[in-house]
Amino acid sequence: MQQKYIGKAISRVDGPAKVTGTAKYAAEYNVPDLHYGYVVNSTIANGEIEKINLTKAAMVDGVVKIYTHENRPSTAWLSLNYADMDAPPGKPFVPMHNNKVVYNGQPIAMVVAKSFEVARYAASLITVEYKADKSDTDLVANLQNARDPKKGLASFLKPPPPKPKGNAAKAYEAAPLKAGGSFYHGVEHHNPMEPFATTVVYEDKDKLKIYDKTQGSVNTQMYVANVFGLKFKDVRVLSPFVGGAFGSGLRPQYQLFLSVMAALDMQCNVRLTLNRHQMFTFGHRPATLQNTFYGADADGKLQSIQHESVAETSTYEDYTEIVVNWANMIYPSPNVNLQYKLAPLNMASPMDMRAPGGATGMHPVEITIDELAHQAGMDPVEFRLLNYTDEDETTGKPYSSKELKECFKQAAEKFGWAKRNPQPRSMRRGHKLVGWGMATGIWEAMQVPTRAEAILTADGKLTVRSATADFGTGTYTVMAQIAADAMGMSLDNVTFELGDSDMPFAPISGGSFTAASCGTAVQAACLGLKKKLLKKAQSTNAEYKSVNLDDIAFVDGQLQPTNSAVKPIAYTDLAAASKNKQIASKNMGWPQMMKQRKYTRAAHSAIFAEVEVDEDFGVVKVTRLVSAIAAGKILNPKTARSQILGGMVWGISKALREESVMDHRIGRFMNTNLGEYHTPVNADIHQLDVIFVEEDDQIVNDLGIKGIGEIGLVGVPPAIANAIFHATGKRVRNLPIKLNDLM
């Protein structure tokens, strides 16, 4: 295939809609006769609702209906019906199911009114009486309840840790070099800029059109159909634009359930938008406590890896992520013991948040390695090269490709690492201590079956569609590039459509697997289309009868047979001669399972960080980050660079800024707003350099794509923490690192 667009820095095709404000998000469809919902949330974490007083609220002019557990219409009985594509083992939360409160902030009532303001006002008049039970929300205080996670469907993509190898405890005791410690990070919330919202258009009895904020329109469709007993074909879900998600859109949130419930019950159009406080009342990155004990021989070769982790989950689902598996995937060691447990708390179920597990688990790994390197008196890069592997020891499989060494080399060079004085506190600028640190990142390259359809019309336009999502990820753009190249057409004539459950099936979009999965589907659909074009040519043009697909170049909008005696035919002619003046093909893009299974497939990164730490105040400024990424084929270096930059900003945020602070006396998050839940502002972000290292991988998929949504974040927090150690001599293991940790 000729690659005219793949690999080129092309501006986002959805850019004009976004910069002019014409891109519409879920809460922006102002359909007629719209009713507005507003949710009331619980103020206790565990217990029962004894009474909800609705009298005042009901009297407000414009209030149409108020729902609570006492009057809500019945929905599906079986827990199974509430399980979405990303549901962990357990029983999914059902809003207003009964009078039980299982977490603070749980939705317990909803006002539906003729205006947003009336609904909001009436909701403020509702008072609730509870019978509160003791609530446990502090992970560290509940370690005694830690246990093995339950297994379920989700375990397929998130395997439990491998069995222990050798005798890690003994090897650790015997090792001349030892490092490790206890690492804790609290809860983080996704906080995409767009709050969760659903606009339900009631089209007919039991027939809905739903604009939802989701990372999977089919996931929403399936959930609504299963929960409310509707036919799939009568539920159409649209999400053409999603204002950020970072994993929060992988599961249906409660505004979907409540707005659909009200629309069906009241037989009208309903919109429900969550406010910013309510963005803290569902999934989150779980608080996690980790301990590492690593041992190395006198030369610095790892002899023992022990990594144990306890993460928080809810009382009703066992949310898991891969936290402890990473160490032995990138560092070989004869003795390994990895443990992962969950402690159920009176909180909402955690959920996937950008680089789930990877960002969590690689932090202790990369800090512990840095400590060992320091003890061994070795440069951190050299130490990693000494303990380098081309094989994933947790599975015994080789990597399909791994250009991590090249990442180290290119990033170190760009950063100027060679000039580093290994001594902590050896550099300063005025009052600022300067430190240089580095770390490695890894994220598995995954692929899931996805369908796409390619439609060629007689006007020379190609439309390719799949029910996948673009929440800033660049899917619109890169899929159009793949299709244009596959069909040998100008990008101007190619449109990719997504975010509509009526389109060919795509699973939820996450885990960095969308480009590989949907890209493969787009290629499959284009291949199908080529076959149909040839078939059409053969039926209309005798000289094509003996021409095989392999003997044709599909370029410049034409079939160009290699045999120059056969005349080229324009796609437009073939489409014009077809029914409805178009030719279409719908195909599934399958992972190459037979090829893939023999390998571990992963993207890698090397991150180098420079920090300045004020010697009196402990204020940290990340002055420079260089990230070199080996992630297979980069479809569009412009949008890909942005993805990585975003990951780096998330890394800075995770290292130094964000944390949802809970008052454990009441099990309630206290900084549930964007003024006090600190994500970086513009002035926090300085020089960021991204390098894409060339990496050819024929195993992951035909296009060689590994995915880049998560890898940009993994490794950034430990690189910053290691730089802070180098600046100050102080090893801070908990996140986020605050100025008072360094005073």
Partner 1 sequence: MNNFTYIAADTPKQAANIISQNPDAAFIAGGTNLIDLMKENIAKPNQLIDLNKIPGLDEITELPDAGLRLGALARNADTAYHPLVQERYPLLADAILAGASAQLRNMATNGGNLLQRTRCYYFYDIATPCNKREPGSGCAAYDGYNRMNAILGSSEHCVAVFPSDMCVALAALNATVNVSGATGERQIPFNEFHRLPGDTPQLDNNLQHGEIITSIDLPPGGLNKNYSYLKLRDRTSYAFALVSIATAFELKDGLIVDARIALGGVAHKPWRVTEAEEFLKNKQPAKESFTQAATLILKGAVGLKHNAFKIELAKRAIVRNCLTALNPDK
Partner 2 sequence: MKSEPQVINNEHDKLPAALAPELDIVLRVNGHDRTITVRPWVTLLDALRGRLDLTGTKKGCDHGQCGACTVLVNGKRINSCLTLAVMQTGNDITTIEGIAQDGMHPMQQAFIDHDAFQCGYCTPGQICSAIGMLNEGHAHTRGDVQELMSGNLCRCGAYTNIVDAIMEVKEAQGNE
Q: Give me the active site residues, please.
A: 710
Segment 31 to 60, residues that bind partner 1, using CB under 8 A: 43
Q: Which does 435 bind (CB under 5 to 8 A by kind): partner 1, partner 2, none?
A: none
- Per rule CB under 8 A, is residue 193 in the interface with partner 1? no
The nearer residue to partner 1, 375 or 671, going by C-beta atoms, is: 671
Q: Is 546 exposed, middle or buried (0-12, 13-18, 19+ CB in 10 A)?
A: exposed
How far is residue 136 from each of residues 140, 638, 660, 689, measured CA to CA in Å?
10, 46, 16, 43
Q: Give the interface with partner 2 as residue ranges (CB under 8 A).
A: 11-12, 14-25, 27-28, 30, 55-56, 59-62, 116-118, 121, 125, 191-195, 241-246, 273, 275-276, 471-474, 638-639, 641-643, 645-650, 673-675, 679-685, 687-688
- Is the distance from CB of 256 to CB of 220 less than 8 angstroms? yes
118-122: long-range contacts, CB 8 A cutoff, minimum separation 24: 118/36, 118/60, 118/61, 118/62, 118/63, 119/36, 119/37, 119/38, 119/63, 120/38, 121/60, 122/38, 122/56, 122/57, 122/58, 122/60, 122/62, 122/63, 122/66
Which region, judged by CB under 8 A, interacts with partner 1, from 17-25, 82-90, 616-624, 712-720?
616-624
Q: Which residues contact 545 (CB under 8 A, 6 or more apart)?
A: 538
Is residue 624 near partner 1 by the rule CB under 8 A? no
Among 298, 565, 594, 681, binds partner 1 (CB under 8 A): 681
The option from partner 2, partner 1, none interacting with 438 (CB < 5 to 8 A, set by class) reads none
Nearer to partner 1 by Cβ, of 74 and 682: the residue is: 682
Of the residues 425, 532, 621, 730, which one makes contact with partner 1 according to CB under 8 A: 621
Query: Applying CB under 8 A, which part among 78-86, 87-95, 120-128, 632-640 lies near partner 1?
Result: 120-128
User: What does 646 bind: partner 1, partner 2, none (CB cut-off 5 to 8 Å by kind)?
Assistant: partner 2
* Rounded distance between C-alpha atoms, residue 47 and residue 740, angstroms: 37
Map residue 302 onto helix, strand or coil.
strand
Q: Min. distance of Cβ 657 from partner 1 in angstroms? A: 6
Task: Write out the two tokens for 464.
Answer: 């390719």
Q: Does 153 bind partner 1 (CB under 8 A)?
A: no
Work out what residue 127 binds among partner 2, partner 1, none; the CB cut-off runs from 5 to 8 Å by kind. Answer: none
Q: Is 616 a binder of partner 1 (CB under 8 A)?
A: yes
Could you give the CA distance from residue 382 to residue 377 in angstroms, rounded to a whole number? Answer: 10
Which one of partner 1, partner 2, none interacts with residue 24, CB within 5 to 8 A by kind? partner 2
β-pairing, 494-497 vs 462-465, is parallel
Q: Which does 99 bind (CB under 5 to 8 A by kind): partner 1, partner 2, none?
A: none
Question: 3-state DSSP call for residue 140?
Answer: helix
Using the rule CB under 8 A, is 124 a contact of partner 1? yes
Helix (H, G, I), strand (E, B) or coil at 668: strand
Residue entry with tokens 């909008």: 557
Smallest separation (angstroms) from partner 1 to the CB of 683: 4
Q: Which class for 398: exposed (0-12), middle (13-18), buried (19 or more C-beta within 10 A)?
A: middle
Partner that binds at residue 641, options partner 2, partner 1, none, CB closer than 5 to 8 Å by kind:
partner 2
Nearest one of 244, 250, 245, 220 to 18, comparing CA atoms: 244
- Minimum distance between the CB of residue 741 and partner 1, rounded to whole angstroms? 9
**Closer CB to partner 1, residue 167 or residue 671?**
671
129 counts as binding partner 1 under rule CB under 8 A: no
SS3 397: strand
Interface segment toward partner 1; rule CB under 8 A; list 116-124, 305-313, 393-401, 591-599: 116-124
Cβ at position 357, least distance to partner 2 in Å: 20
Q: Could you give the CA distance from residue 732 to residue 617 in angstroms, rounded to a whole number? A: 15
H-run or E-run covering 303 = strand 302-313
